[in-house]
Amino acid sequence: MLAKGCRMIPAPKILAEFGVSAPELVEETGLAVLWKVCRADGSPAVLKIYGSKGMRNESEGFRFLAAAGGPAARVYKVTASAALIEWLSGPPLGDLSRAGRDAEAAAELVQVAKGLHASAIPEAGYPRLEDWFRALFSLTVSAGASEAARRNIFRSQALARRLLADPQDVRPLHGDLHHSNIRLGDRGYCAFDAKGVLGERAYELANAFRHPRGAPDLVREPERIRFLATLWSQEFQVGQRRLMQWAAAKCALSIAWRNGGRLGKDPELDLLGALLNAAEG
């Protein structure tokens, strides 16, 4: 897929398949290499070429973005191993928060979420949120973990089971909406890097409580947690307590994914405790 050279560049066959030229390396991730390219009409785009691991759960994410429209990054073409999407030239939304404008970032984020959910999207073919949470339900806690960590994981498992047993307003979701997956472009702030999952609508904002990256003190501030819960529940028209419960459950799920099935220590255990307390307060 990539031509050999000092700096690996997309093979001419790949560029021709997508009708693009002039590749410039943007980023390398664990799954893919991203290139800024030029489309036939002269407009820029991102060519995302996946490695041996494939797209994993991002394949359904492209389908979600294409169906959602509005503030979703435009998807021009997708194959089994690559995708061509809209170029978003501006900074990520997280830069606003890190610059001391967190309330402004929170307002922008919920507007993007509302735009993604503005139209109905067919439900068939998406993985279900229950499938994701199997990782949390199967998580065990090592003997060396603190009693608080053990207690909070058990609380999270019980909470997630209750939420999933009584789903409300189920629909296709972006699935990974947060400050790093929203970037400024010519059309305003747009979401990208969707995962695509079928689940309760309130889950859409759950992961954003843990963000932005690089601001650990900010995301742990009780006042900030309360502010986001109030603003987002009102703007997104979901129950505030329900939203906070999903935020805690998602934090626990991320811990489970990161620890591969057995928990010892984790940098977000204190955040999990704060979110659980907010959800139950």
What are the extents of the domains in the chain? 2-86, 94-280
Q: Find all residues with CB under 8 Å of 99, minimum gap 6, and list them.
A: none
Q: What fold characterizes domain 94-280?
A: Aminoglycoside 3'-phosphotransferase; Chain: A, domain 2 (3.90.1200)
Strand partners, 77: 84
Q: Fill in the amino acid letter for 36.
A: K
pTM of the model: 0.94
- Residues in Cβ contact with 44 at an 8 Å cutoff, skipping those fewer than 6 apart: 36, 37, 38, 87, 89
Cα distance between the two ends of the chain: 52
Residues marked active site are found at 176
Do the domains 2-86 and 94-280 sit in the same CATH topology, yes or no?
Answer: no
Domain 2-86: top CATH class: alpha beta
CA 100/CA 142 separation, integer angstroms: 38
- The pLDDT of residue 1 is 43
In this structure, what token pair is assigned to residue 138?
Answer: 């199967």
Backbone angles phi, psi at 42, to 5 degrees: 95, -10
91-113 pLDDT, tens digit per residue, is 999 999 999 999 999 999 999 99
Q: Consecutive sets of 10 residues in the chain, 281 residues long: mean pLDDT of each? A: 54 97 94 96 97 89 97 97 97 98 99 98 96 98 93 98 98 98 98 98 99 97 98 99 99 97 94 96 74
